[in-house]
Structure 1
Amino acid sequence: MQCFLTFLTFVALLSAHVHAEVSFEGETLDEWQGFKRHTFQVDGCKAWVVEPKTALPGKPWSWCMEFPDAFTERCAAPQLLAAGFHHVHIVVGNTFGGPEAVKHFNAFHDFLVAHGLAKKAVLIGLSRGGMYAYRFASQRPEGVSVIYGDAPLCDLKTVHGAPGYGKGNPVEWANVMKAYGFKDDAEGLAYAGNPVDILAPLAKAKVAIIHVIGDADDIVVPAKNSNVIEQRYRELGGNMQVIHKIGVGHHPHGLGDPKPVVDFILQHTAKG
């Protein structure tokens, strides 16, 4: 009888944990994609957490690094919320994942774990958000289970428009220079901290990676970005899947039905 009562107590505690709502000091509440959203400040930055109707045990979470309201229905977040994930974002501006942004990311990650979310996050990197995701993950691989890159920027030389890297964007290259503190173009082009260069810690930590790319993308050229990540990560023994959209350019991000991405994330967070 005592064992049975102990079991019931355990079930009750587990149920309370799974259904418990999160709350944050100084928060405001609204809705995002039909789910409750908490908005507050972390490390001097605006941040938010969207909670699912019923959280999965362990409270896994997805983190859109940049452009959280772009192509949302196509890029897995609402489907993950429906499956029981929390979904989060912190506003660090147009910083291309530079050192100051990574500092804010570290503070945000630690803050959320301290508030009961899982130790490992699923990172969603759309376009330049790929820089944000990989730059953070390479420094905190133990805090990441999956990276989902969608037409992700994986080499800053793409923004410059170096030979073979596409059309480039002078305005955005100026933002890169500012965010990283490069003294001139040569220093920026020689930078060795791009996602294509920093994959070893992720492979060692067994971070699973999935990319969705348009094979006709002339903004973030696959040959210099996702294709390089795929080749190098597999050479390191990493687990990576790439979904190709034949004849599609940089937009639209995501998939008409993001189920393959959602399934990949659920599979690899369950393993974690």
Structure 2
Amino acid sequence: MVVAFGLLAASTFAVSNLPLPAEIFDVNGRRAFVMQPEKPAAGSPWVWYAPTLHSYPHHSQRYYFEQLLEHGIAVAGYDLGEVRGAPVSSKAFTGFYDAMVVKGYSPKPVLLGQSRGGLMMLCWAFRNPDKVGAFAGIYPVCNIASWPLQRSKPSVLADYGMSEEEIMKKLDLLNPSENLDGLVKAGVPMFIIHGDSDRPDSIRLPRWQTRGYRKNEPLMNTHGHGSI
């Protein structure tokens, strides 16, 4: 875990280059942001965006952030660095969630995960199904054994504090696609946009369907892994 802490501490905060004005605050030594609507909707709803990193969120997210704010929905994020959904980083995300609830925001945010942010959010979600209003994914990474281990192995090993062999042995306990039962039982809606030529990751939809989720995944024709 010392290695993981070092990884987090080295992260460059994205929050100084956000696409829209936001309140910046600290949670357990890490930087967080919240974009507040002029007229909050009833219940103070909010969307939790991930990843919040050196280059995210950026101008590509501005349009849909503006639509959310115009409808009274806050947008927030928390910079833990290049984490990959391990129990220790999920627990740290809970600290941010608690801080948002203390601020008066809804106890059931909508999680919006883009690319590796999908893995961050889904891993937190399956460990906290009672705290999730819904999940939306934009080309979300959902399988630790795909892009994360193939293209970002040091970040995975640092976050999980395990060897690759240990992670693979425990994959069914760690992968979100194998751990949807709590979200299904809680009735958490899911909506995923995925490219039909997305190479970095496969969401393994049939396995999701066997766990109670009907197909709710529009494909972007001829789209690979990128922003919308």
Which of the five TM-score ranges fits, normalised by the shorter chain?
A: 0.7 to 0.9
CA drift of 1:30 comes to 8.8
Maintained 8 Å contact 1:208/1:239: no
C-alpha distance 156-37 of structure 1, shift in aligned 2 (>3 A): same
Match of 2:165 among 174, 186, 198: 186
Paired position in structure 1 for 2:176: 195
Q: Which amino acid aligns with 1:106?
A: T
Bigger radius of gyration, 1 or 2? 1
Of all paired residues, the percent bearing the same amino acid is 27
CA drift of 1:99 comes to 2.5
Q: C-alpha distance in 2, partners of 1:144/1:248? A: 29
- Cα displacement string for residues 128-161 of structure 1 (whole angstroms, at most 9, x for unaligned residues): 1111111111111111111111111111110366
Matched, 1:111 2:91: no
Matched, 1:43 2:28: yes
Paired position in structure 1 for 2:49: 64
Q: C-alpha distance in 2, partners of 1:136/1:179? A: 14
Determine which structure has greater relative contact order: mean sequence separation of CA pairs < 8 Å that are 6+ residues apart, divided by chain length. Answer: 2
| RMSD of aligned alpha carbons | 2.1
C-alpha distance 241-103 of structure 1, shift in aligned 2 (>3 A): same
1:134 is paired with a residue of what secondary structure? Answer: helix
CA drift of 1:33 comes to 4.4
1:137 is paired with a residue of what secondary structure? Answer: helix
Unpaired runs of at least 5, structure 1: 1-28, 162-167, 255-272
Paired position in structure 1 for 2:192: 211
CA drift of 1:53 comes to 1.4
C-alpha distance 37-30 of structure 1, shift in aligned 2 (>3 A): farther
C-alpha distance 55-238 of structure 1, shift in aligned 2 (>3 A): same
Q: C-alpha distance in 2, partners of 1:30/1:55? A: 24
Q: How many residues align?
A: 208
Maintained 8 Å contact 2:197/2:223: yes
Q: C-alpha distance in 1, partners of 2:159/2:145? A: 15
After TM superposition, list the pairs within 5 Å mapping 1:49-128 onto structure 2.
Answer: 49-66=34-51, 67-69=56-58, 71-73=60-62, 76-128=64-116
1:218 is paired with a residue of what secondary structure? Answer: coil
Unpaired runs of at least 5, structure 2: 1-14
1:119 is paired with a residue of what secondary structure? Answer: coil
Q: C-alpha distance in 1, partners of 2:99/2:220? A: 37
C-alpha distance 32-93 of structure 1, shift in aligned 2 (>3 A): closer
Q: C-alpha distance in 1, partners of 2:180/2:17? A: 36
Q: C-alpha distance in 1, partners of 2:186/2:35? A: 27
TM-score, normalised to structure 2's length? 0.84
CA drift of 1:239 comes to 5.5
C-alpha distance 135-107 of structure 1, shift in aligned 2 (>3 A): same
Paired position in structure 2 for 1:176: 156
Q: Which amino acid aligns with 2:30?
A: C
Q: Which amino acid aligns with 1:211?
A: I
Q: C-alpha distance in 2, partners of 1:240/1:232? A: 11
C-alpha distance 237-156 of structure 1, shift in aligned 2 (>3 A): closer
